[in-house]
Amino acid sequence: MEVIAAVRNRRAVKSFDPHHKMSDETRQALLEAAVLAPSAYNIQHWRIVDVRDPAQRAAIREVAWGQTQVTDASALYVLCADLNAWQEEPTRYWATSPQPVQDFVLPKLDEYYRGKPEVARDEAMRTLGIFGMTLMLVAQDLGYDSCPMDGFDFDAVAKIIRLPADFAIGYMVAVGKGTGNAWPRNREAVEKLVYIDYF
């Protein structure tokens, strides 16, 4: 599928076939493609919890307003961010880059994040946004539907997945075979959303 077709066809699907099973090969292909998404300083902040256990899915559904996609989708991914990834062996993010690039970037990385937890969190959340969109477009290309989700109790889900203290949940993405039709799409005209040079 062409990228533009994937963008046009991707919808936030609310109803999934609970009997469809995604193969391990497809799961692997989906995630291997999604991790190619760009990230700030190539830090790759994302840490993905692939929730497979039915009991755990049911527990999450209870704290997610009873939304059926939590349990019915073929895959449920909780997209989390390692807020301290920037300082965990940062040389590994640029190990294949020319030495002058490393000499420039690595000190800048430290300067950008150190002592600025709000910057680290904001950057991690932006990165999760890019990752999640990549995940959903790859899923569409593989013939799957998806639904990004933030309608849940974040603290409760954090407990269920045993989220480490220095991590944060961005949102969840359900992936599976959609059933029924998606709701009609309602988008503002581009002319109402885009400004040239300034507001």
Quickly list DSSP for 12-68.
B---B-TT----HHHHHHHHHHHTTS--GGG---EEEEE---HHHHHHHHHTTTT-T
Is the separation of the CB atoms in 40 and 123 below 8 Å?
A: yes
Is the separation of the CB atoms in 39 and 127 below 8 Å?
A: yes
The residue-averaged pLDDT of 161-177 equals 97
pLDDT digits (tens, 9 = 90+) for 37-50: 999 999 999 999 99
Percent of the chain with pLDDT over 90: 82
Percent of the chain with pLDDT over 70: 99
Is the separation of the CB atoms in 83 and 166 below 8 Å?
A: yes
- pTM here is 0.93
pLDDT tier, 183 (very low <50, low <70, confident <90, very high otherwise): confident
Q: What are phi and psi of 31, to 5 degrees?
A: -75, -35
Q: What is the mean pLDDT of the chain?
A: 94
Sheet holding 167-176, edge to edge: 46-50, 75-82, 167-176, 145-149
pLDDT digits (tens, 9 = 90+) for 133-163: 999 999 999 999 999 999 999 999 999 999 9
Q: Say what the pLDDT of residue 6 is.
A: 84
- Give yes or no for residue 9 having a pLDDT over 90: no
Domains, the chain? 3-180 (3.40.109.10)
Could you identify the residue written with the tokens 């989390």? 80
- Give yes or no for residue 1 having a pLDDT over 60: no
Q: Around 13, how many Cα atoms within 13 Å sit in the side-chain half-sphere? A: 24
- Give yes or no for residue 127 having a pLDDT over 60: yes
One DSSP character per residue, 124-169 reads HHHHHHHHHHHHHHHHHHTT-EEEEE--S-HHHHHHHTT--TTEEE
